């Protein structure tokens, strides 16, 4: 972040609990360190314990600097390290306008399509299915982050063209992933939303580059990322100049092996409390298994997700990636009806 970007209103609040037997000299030393970092310090003396309250403009403050000083028992940073992404910075929900789709408002758009763009026939077939069932955004990867270098890596620009063509034909906005900075220009040309995949959530140079565009960005949660890590990554894009960001919970790695990942449904209300950014949910990558996707999509809507993204394939046996988690057309249609009913109960629409 540029130094001159730091806002004077971003005061940091830190509470320092001192050890019971801290000496006067140690306490003075802690206060001096805090003041040297630019904090103004208030000392509260209790019956048995002394607590220091520190306030200052220090967005990159590292609490470890204080916790290692003699006499310090605990350091609690009260303010969040993300600023532009926080509810404190913006009280109202961010609502993104993507073509004629609103994301973050009352309606919950569904993003659907195959894992990978494979052929024109495949894209046209799936686009028609998902459009007829009520999807608003078409997905399809042209640059695929695959665990194995021997797996299908995506069709590249040819795939982008097919995605765009199918989106235009069926009046669907489109989303696709970029894996590296060099792909941004071309993906920007064909896509309405740029996806940052789980594996790139902390690719900070890529996030900075995306901050220079004005395209809506869907930032997926890294598989080992805390919500704070995730919001810090969103902060990179926002601080670099692009305010059109939404998040996507896609499951995290846990010790569980019966599903591909563990779907962290609670991340949805947690994000809503901490941040004004919309949060989507991707139950396909979160579970990895077709029969688990619809129940988790229902849970995500009930938990307040602002968009649902699912993989759909008309012939998943032959899919070049993620066939086992792709919904069949009939499952997708049924899911859409169920989600609509759940959305209504919580005052939202599909
Ligand atoms: C995807 O959505 O195509 C994808 C690769 O997801 P993730 O980055 O969440 O694994
Ligand atoms: Mn996939």
- CATH of residue 324's domain is 3.20.20.70
Q: Specify if 172 maps to a domain.
A: yes
Which of 78, 108, 134 represents a domain boundary (last residue)?
A: 78
Residue 3 has pLDDT above 60, yes or no: no
Residue 18 has pLDDT above 90, yes or no: yes
Q: Which residues contact 280 (CB under 8 A, 6 or more apart)?
A: 103, 111, 218, 246, 247, 248, 249, 305, 306, 307, 308, 309
Q: Is the CB of 251 under 6 A from ligand 1?
A: no
Do 311 and 283 lie in one domain? The reply is: yes
The CATH number that applies at residue 28 is 3.30.70.1140
Per-residue confidence (pLDDT) for residue 116, from 0 to 100: 98
Are the CB atoms for 279 and 96 separated by under 8 Å? no
Domain interval for residue 271: 96-345
On the CB side of 104, how many CA atoms lie within 13 Å of its CA? 21
Per-residue confidence (pLDDT) for residue 2, from 0 to 100: 45
pTM for the whole structure: 0.94
Do 69 and 101 lie in one domain? The reply is: no
Q: Do β-strands 40-45 and 50-56 pair in parallel, antiparallel, or remain unpaired? A: antiparallel
Nearest CA to ligand 1 atom 8: 197
Per-residue confidence (pLDDT) for residue 48, from 0 to 100: 87
Q: Is the CB of 260 under 6 A from ligand 1?
A: no
Neighbours of 347 (CB within 10 A): 7
Q: Is the CB of 201 under 6 A from ligand 1?
A: no
- The enclosing H or E element of 292 equals helix 290-303
Do 191 and 58 lie in one domain? The reply is: no
Q: Specify if 238 maps to a domain.
A: yes
Q: Specify if 89 maps to a domain.
A: no
Nearest CA to ligand 1 atom 4: 197
Nearest CA to ligand 1 atom 3: 115
The pLDDT tens digits of the residues spanning 132-153 come to: 999 999 999 999 999 999 999 9
Q: Is the CB of 269 under 6 A from ligand 1?
A: no
Q: Work out how many domains the chain is built from and give that number.
A: 2
Sign of CA dihedral 310, 311, 314, 317: negative
Output the six-digit token pair for 225. Answer: 């990322």
Do 160 and 284 lie in one domain? The reply is: yes
Output the six-digit token pair for 238. Answer: 């926002």
């Amino acid at each position: 972040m540029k130094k001159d970007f730091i806002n004077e209103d971003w005061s940091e609040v830190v509470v320092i609990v001192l050890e019971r037997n801290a000496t006067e000299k140690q306490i003075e030393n802690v206060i001096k360190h805090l003041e040297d970092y630019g904090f103004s310090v208030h000392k509260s003396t209790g019956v048995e314990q002394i607590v220091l309250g520190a306030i200052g403009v220090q967005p990159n403050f590292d609490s470890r600097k204080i916790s290692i000083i003699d006499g310090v028992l605990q350091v609690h940073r009260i303010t969040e390290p993300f600023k532009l992404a926080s509810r404190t910075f913006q009280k109202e929900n961010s609502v993104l306008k993507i073509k004629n789709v609103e994301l973050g408002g009352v309606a919950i758009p569904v993003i659907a399509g195959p894992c990978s763009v494979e052929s024109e026939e495949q894209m046209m077939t799936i686009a028609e299915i998902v459009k007829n069932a009520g999807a608003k955004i078409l997905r399809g990867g042209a640059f695929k982050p695959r665990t194995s270098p021997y797996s299908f890596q995506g069709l590249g620009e040819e795939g982008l063209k097919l995605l765009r063509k199918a989106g235009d034909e069926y009046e669907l906005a489109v989303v696709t992933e970029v894996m590296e900075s060099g792909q941004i220009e071309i993906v920007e040309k064909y896509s309405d939303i740029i996806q940052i995949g789980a594996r790139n959530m902390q690719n900070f140079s890529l996030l900075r580059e995306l901050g220079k565009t004005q395209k809506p960005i869907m930032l997926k949660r890294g598989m080992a990322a805390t919500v704070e890590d995730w919001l810090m990554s969103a902060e990179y894009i926002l601080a670099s100049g692009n305010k059109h960001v939404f998040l996507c919970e896609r499951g995290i790695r846990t010790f569980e092996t019966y599903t591909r990942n563990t779907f962290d449904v609670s991340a949805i209300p947690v994000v809503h409390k901490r941040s004004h950014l919309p949060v989507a949910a991707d139950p396909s990558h979160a579970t990895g298994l077709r029969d688990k996707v619809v129940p988790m999509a229902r849970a995500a809507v009930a938990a307040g997700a602002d968009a649902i993204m699912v993989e759909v394939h008309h012939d998943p046996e032959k899919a070049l990636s993620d066939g086992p988690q792709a919904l069949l057309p009939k499952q997708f249609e049924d899911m859409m009806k169920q989600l609509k009913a759940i959305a209504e109960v919580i005052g939202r629409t599909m």
